[in-house]
Chain A
Amino acid sequence: MDKREKFGGVPDPRMANLPLARWIQTILTMSPAPLRPDNTSPLDDVGKAASSYHLPYFQQLPDFALALLKNDDQATVYYAPLIYHLIGCAACHQAYLEIYDAMSAALAVDSQQQVADNGHHTLALTPARMLVYLCQLLITQAQTVLRVARHEHVDNDAWARALLQQSLTMSSHIMQGTLRQRALQNLVDVALLATGESQDEQNPATRTYSSLVGAGSSPRAGKTRRRAEMLERSAGEPVIELQSGTLQGSVTQRGDILELHLRNLDPPLRGHRLQITVPLGSLIEPVRWSGGNPRAIRSQSPVSDQGHLTMQLGKTDLRLTTAEDRNLLEAMFKKLDVRPVDM
């Protein structure tokens, strides 16, 4: 109840609209998104936050808060849809309160005040869990951006790609393989949406390989594979290992050149040239792909009678001997499709 009314003063004229206000709230209130339990760290539950946040409204909050703080008389007119959204969405309303308060703190300081140097910090000393978390957030954000684009018929592909590129780059600084794997868990699915690459139902891949993220990663970068089938490779040569079911393959480097080695390919592929697709290859650009298109890299020679093939994928300035470079390339080969060219 209004204080003035309670103490016998002038009643708040808005109170006459209380029933209408309640009705508006009833029709706008969304079923609340499941909340993250208090004892769960946001670092363990990235997806939950994404499901309760509405990008088109959320992104207006800082400007809305600023307009209110500056007493802009057009604020309610301009942000009317956001205001109606805040009535019904508890998560966005909570975010509005936080952002309004933080913006008011921001405006209260001397804008030209010098910021104290907080010291020099490097990613190598940043807790890996914070890097994993950031990568997951960026991938989830890219997914949200794409979902909104579909819903509103706008093109957000470049934005989503920028976020995915960031997640790839940041993940290259995570040296523990299992953590890097966690960081990039949904990367392929979201990247396929972002690059406009859907599963080719007319011409499905005969084989799909994935890099074994973390299988041979640093701090023991350059781990040597010593399997019998790899003995022809010189000892100590760094590799990115690939797997497709029971089949194995690898990517190695000779100078600037990245080479793909596939072994024991299925009999129907033998004697045929192959087309290799690296879907994430178009996401970052450190590799100059053979033929120029990472979706259609053709082998110069056919698969041998024993099912073996070695072919050039492209050239790069990255080095498999450098941990970050290797991690970046390994993430890029999280999906590699193989199709016969001439069958």
Chain B
Amino acid sequence: MPFSAHDLRYHLEQHYASLNAYLQQRAQRYLGSLAFDAVEVDQVVGHVIEQLTHLHILGGGDSAPETALDRLTNAQFYAFLNRCAKNKAIDRLRKHRAPTSTLAELERPGGEEEEAQPMESVVETLWGTVPFATPEETALEAASQQTLRQLLKHCIKALSAAPHQLEAVLQELEDLDARDMVQEIRRLCGLSDSAAPLAHASQHRDHAHKKLRHCLQQSSTNLAVVVALRLSKYETVSTGADVIPVDISTLAQDKLSIQEVQTGLKHLTSEGLLNWHGEATLRLLPSQCKRLARFYEEGE
């Protein structure tokens, strides 16, 4: 009996058996020479079931937040499951160094999903060309892409509350030849270009790294940066009025929900950049606009 992501979320008891049977069948199909090894079949099926549980598909009901998986059609959801099983099976085959199935073997007629899925990516590489393909590649994007770099700058600037920690990080960045970034942060924080050698530098560095780790992965920080970007655009539409009224619902667009906008506004208020306490209309001052533009200095 075909099932959907919705069925597994709301009627798991009725559909788990079908999910399990489908995954078993897929696992055996892709495991080639290991198809009759029960442990290997369990590895594949267990892995997909684990992922589905972590993605809230299994039994989450109304309480678990929806994801893009919930919005897939049945055909798409089956293709998703099929690919998950296939990738894990190939992973297992590789771990066993079993002779990889030939393209023809893997392509033997079966489910209709395969017809729409070229297999070359499976035989050559599991991932093909994927953005952020490795942690190293991802770090390089973070250092290079404007938006990601802005968040990094923001988090480094946020260290200014602990000047020794900020200085320790700036000295590290100077050693890395990231002088442009260092100069910019010094200018924004009102620091002189050269600083005296720092005592206990490694200790300050360790504390600073911990704070940076937290700041970079914290969504409220990021939301603050995104909201600041959106608010900073109001400076250009201002016609010289003393106060620019901003209906906060207008900030909630392009992926940002109203709750996320509120989180961002709260964060900006906590940093002293705004004076917002839950009102539907934010009263934005031109001076605040300037500070927000500095908070998110796009295009530098």
A residues with CB within 8 A of B: 13-14, 17-25, 27-29, 38-39, 41-43, 49, 53, 55-63, 65-68, 72, 74, 76-78, 80-81, 83-88, 90, 93, 95-103, 105-123, 125-127, 129-131, 133-134, 137-138, 141, 156, 158-159, 161-163, 166, 169-170, 173
Specify the chain B residue showing the minimal Cβ separation from A53.
Answer: B54
A81-B151, A161-B63 given; name 6 further pairs at CB < 8 Å.
A29-B135, A41-B43, A81-B222, A83-B142, A108-B117, A121-B21
Answer yes or no: B283 CB below 8 A from chain A CBs.
Answer: no
B residues with CB within 8 A of A: 1-2, 12-13, 16-18, 20-22, 25, 39, 42-43, 45-47, 49-51, 53-56, 58-65, 67-69, 72-84, 87-88, 95, 111-113, 116-117, 121, 126-128, 130-136, 138-145, 147-148, 151-152, 172-173, 176-178, 181, 209, 212-213, 216-219, 221-222, 225-226, 229, 254-256
Q: Is the CB of A14 within 8 A of B144?
A: yes
Give the chain B neighbours of A119 by CB distance below 8 A: 1, 21
With contacts defined as CB atoms under 8 Å apart, how many contacts are there between chain A and chain B in the complex? 279
Q: How far is the CA of A64 from the CA of B157 in the complex (A)?
A: 27
Q: Pick the residue among A78, A80, A107, A120 that contacts B256 (CB under 8 A).
A: A78
B contact patch SS: helix
Specify the chain A residue showing the minimal Cβ separation from B72.
Answer: A106
Q: Is the CB of B213 within 8 A of A27?
A: yes
Q: Which of A49, A78, A173 has most B Cβ within 10 Å? A: A78
Question: Given A28-B213, A63-B68, A105-B80, A88 and B59 touching (CB < 8 A)?
Answer: no
Q: Is the CB of A103 within 8 A of B68?
A: yes
Q: Pick the residue among B16, B43, B147, B217 that contacts A85 (CB under 8 A).
A: B217
Q: How far is the CA of A158 from the CA of B61 in the complex (A)?
A: 10
Specify the chain A residue showing the minimal Cβ separation from B133.
Answer: A97
Q: Is the CB of A74 within 8 A of B254?
A: yes
Q: Which of A41, A72, A85, A156 has most B Cβ within 10 Å? A: A41
Q: Please, could you name 27 A-B residue pairs with CB atoms under 8 Å apart, sorted by A?
A: A13-B144, A14-B144, A21-B139, A22-B139, A23-B173, A49-B50, A59-B54, A59-B55, A63-B67, A81-B151, A84-B151, A88-B213, A97-B130, A98-B88, A101-B83, A102-B87, A103-B80, A105-B79, A105-B82, A105-B117, A108-B117, A117-B2, A121-B21, A134-B16, A138-B53, A141-B54, A166-B13
Within the complex, what minimum Cβ distance (angstroms) separates B4 from chain A?
9
Q: How far is the CA of A68 from the CA of B145 in the complex (A)?
A: 15
Question: Given A53-B54, A62-B55, A138-B53, A106 and B140 touching (CB < 8 A)?
Answer: no
Within the complex, what minimum Cβ distance (angstroms) separates B253 from chain A?
10
Q: How far is the CA of A317 from the CA of B225 in the complex (A)?
A: 56
Within the complex, what minimum Cβ distance (angstroms) separates A83 from chain B?
6
Specify the chain A residue showing the minimal Cβ separation from B229.
Answer: A77
Q: Is the CB of B17 within 8 A of A126?
A: yes
Question: Given A42-B46, A43-B46, A86-B132, A118 and B25 touching (CB < 8 A)?
Answer: yes
Give the chain B neighbours of A111 by CB distance below 8 A: 72-73, 75-76
